[in-house]
Structures are given as C-alpha cells and as structure tokens.
Structure 1
Amino acid sequence: MLHLIPYLEPMKYQEAEIVQLLTTAFQDKTVHNAYYEAAQEKAFKKGDLLLEQGQICRYSYEILSGSVRGYYLKDGREVTTAFCFAGDPVLSLESATRQTPSQETFEVLEDAVIEVVSIEKLLQLRQRFPVFEKVWTLSIEAYAIWLEERLASLQFATAKERYDQLVDRYPEIIRKAQLQHIASYLGITLETLSRIRAR
C-alpha cells in the first residue's frame, strides 16, 4: 500500500510510523480485506499517461515496479516536477482533494505495474477506518516537508548540489530518465547538467 504516503524519502521517521500503523491494522482481516477489495493491480506501458493536465484526478496510484514522471506544460514546454519509483505514490493532491482539473501530467517512463485505488474508495476507507485517516494525515505532513525541502534546494543549493542530492536519493534516475527531464527538474539547462556530469 500506500497512495497515502507521498514522497516519504526525507521523512524516514514518519514512514516508520506509517508502516507500523498499517502492519498492525492489516492484522485485522476486515481492514485488510476492505483495502484489497478497493485496490487493483494493473500493468502500464511506457508512454501511458496516468493523469493528463486538464483531467480530474480520480485515482491514486502506487508504483510496484517501473517509474513515472510528473510535469507541467508551460508555453508548450514540459517542466518536470517529480520522479516516482517503486514504492512511491502518484496523484495530484489538489485535483484529488478538490476534484478540480489537474495542472500536472503523469507519464509512465517504463513498463510498470501499479496498484490503483479510486479517490472515492480511498475516502470511504478513511471514513470507515481511523487508521487510514491517521496515515493520510501523516502522509500530508511528509509531503509538505518534502515541498519545503525542494523549495529550499531550488532557492539555495547550487546546481551541482541539487544534482548530487537527486542522484543520492534516486541513483537509478540516470538510467531511467532522459537528461533533459532531469535538467528541467533541477531547474538548470541541459548544457549545465552535461558540465556537472563531466566533472
């Protein structure tokens, strides 16, 4: 599981708490069965779009294998906002919670197996079982802190520091993502990225 755990890498202590909560909760067959009645495992091909800009986010995804890229379109140019790998959730939080058109597109970077739960069923689980509401709250906290860290990195870290942080966190990214997408995510030009990697 969990679509309820956005971007947990910088929040190891919250991740541990969430895992403990779910491990305990899933010992209850009612909780376990309710979740897996709502979740579906699906295969996606490279290039598939989980969500497209302008669509309403009606599903939450958790990557079991493969990878996904999030991006915005600005003046016809793609601006990469996120890379997601096995264990990561994928959803547009604003679109999912407000049921408004998403500003973000999520593209499958390689053939992937992904667990899918509708936002409607996820809300029902949160209403029915307090543990899911607790996990959701912890996850939103983790996501907010990840956003703060990303903002600080973009404002204060050098291009090389941002690159090193990304590769340290996601060592597989160079193999799975195009360099132009990595450069966009880091907020630098492709030429600058090439110079950093050549050092």
Structure 2
Amino acid sequence: MNKNGQLLRTALSSYSFLENEVWEEFEHFFIEKSIAKNEMIWENGEVCKHLVFIVKGAVRSFSMAHGNELTNNFYFDSDLFYDDYSFISQKPCFNNYQTLEDTDLLLIPRSALYLMFNKYKSFERLGRIVVECRYIELYESMTRKSNQSAGENYRYLMEHAKKVIQRVPLKMVASYLNITPEHLSRIRKSYASPRAKIA
C-alpha cells in the first residue's frame, strides 16, 4: 500500500472496519492526480463520476447566482467529497469545485465503488455509514448557517474549523457566511475585542 492509500484507509477506518483483502482489491482502483491552484475539478453542467479524497490541499464548492459566487463548502487534507446530487443521479452538477491551493488527490471511480458495494457486505456498510455521517454534517452546517448570525457563524469557524480562517481568502469566507467582505472585516475586529459584541 502506498502512502496516499494509507492516508485514505486511516480516514475511512474512523467510520468502519474493512478486511485487508477487501482493501487490497479496492486500492487497485485509485487514481492519483495533482491539480494546480485555482483549477476546476468539476464545473456546473459536468457529471460527477468520482469520489475524491484530498491527500493535501484545499478545495471549495460554489454556485453562481445573478453573476455572484456563493460559496457552499470547503474541503481540506484528508477530506472525502463528491457532488451528492450529480454522483448519485449521474445528472449534471449545479455546483463548481475549485482548488484553492496546489492539491494532490486520490480519485475513486463511481463504477468501482458500486462494484465493491455489490461484492462485499463490509464495504457496503462502510459506504452507508460514510453517507449517513456526511448527511448529518451537511444538515448541521446548513442549519447552523441559517439559524445563527454571521458573527456566531464566524465564531464557529474560529473554534471548530480553523483551516477555513487560516487557508481561505477572506472574500470567500465572506461568501460562505453570505455577507460582504466589509461586514466580515467588522466582525473580525469585533471578535478581536473581548468587550465587543459579535453581530
């Protein structure tokens, strides 16, 4: 097993156990790929045909509305992601996926995943648990963003998602919080002051 495959196995082991023989068959399908900063992995209108594991780097997903970019999510080292709708339906993506840094990836073809699901019960169980956990994370993120103020959401990033603050341009952080860069600047100043209220 190469180093990148071991990183993926470590990430997946937190969800469920896979027998060595199942893993050895699975890793034959891995495709290693390096993508330069600001390049697209998928664009609106393309079909998502791979599960992606980030070995090293950063990716954001965003959509377009009235000529503006609306950032939906960020992915970093050891994260797994795909475009949920497109991957499952095999219809075109509505979102775009762009690297924020030079990024190294492991790609796993959708066809290989479904082959493994059908062949091994333990692999099917792993896939189900990963999807369930991903749904919970996305639901909690959407609920938090819609029910909390921008200041509260920024505080959450500071406390639980520091990679976003440290590695993402501020204008994209503002887009993710659905506020202007100027509003984000005010929040950051407020956060730096222990006596100020974050709005």
For the criterion TM > 0.5, the same-fold answer is yes
Find the counterpart in structure 2 of residue 88 from structure 1: 79
Identity between Structure 1 and Structure 2 (%) = 26
Q: Which amino acid aligns with 1:95?
A: S
| Higher deviation after alignment, 106-115 or 137-146 | 137-146
Aligned to 2:27: 36
- 1:12 maps to which residue? none
Give the whole-Å Cα distance in 2 for the aligned partners of 1:174 and 1:141.
27
Q: Give CA deviations for 1:79-121 in whole Å, capped at 9, x if unaligned.
A: 0000000111121011011100001111011011111111111
Q: How do residues 57-96 of structure 1 correspond to structure 2 at under 5 angstroms?
A: 57-96=48-87
Larger radius of gyration: 2
- Aligned pairs, how many? 182
Amino acid corresponding to residue 41 of structure 2 in structure 1: L
- State the Cα distance separating 1:148 from its structure 2 match: 2.2
SS in 1 for 2:101: coil
Where 1:172 maps in the other structure, the secondary structure is helix
Which residue number in structure 2 is paired with residue 146 of structure 1? Answer: 137
Q: CA deviation at 1:47?
A: 1.3
The residue number in structure 2 matching 1:156 is 147
Aligned AA (1:64): V
Gaps of 5+ in 1: 6-14
The runs of 5 or more residues in structure 2 that have no matched partner are: 1-7, 191-199
The 3-state SS of whatever aligns with 1:79 is strand
Report 1 or 2 for greater relative contact order, CA contacts < 8 Å, sequence distance ≥ 6: 1
CA RMSD between the two structures: 1.8
Out of 163, 166, 170, the residue aligned to residue 161 of structure 2 is 170
TM-score by structure 1 length?
Answer: 0.85
TM-score under structure 2 normalisation?
0.85
Equivalent of 1:99 in 69, 73, 90: 90
Residues in 2 aligned to 1:37 and 1:148: alpha-carbon distance in whole angstroms = 33
Q: What residue in structure 2 maps to residue 135 of structure 1?
A: 126
Aligned-partner residue type, residue 51 of structure 1? W
Instruction: Supply the distance in 2 between the matched residues of 1:36 and 1:117 (Cα, whole angstroms).
Output: 9
1:129-176: CA deviations, max 9, x gaps? 112211121122112212221222122212111001122222122332
Q: CA deviation at 1:60?
A: 1.1
Partners of 2:160 and 2:117 in 1: how far apart? 30
Q: CA deviation at 1:37?
A: 0.3
Structure 2 residue 86 is matched with structure 1 residue 56: no
Between the aligned partners of 2:124 and 2:104, the Cα distance in structure 1 is: 26
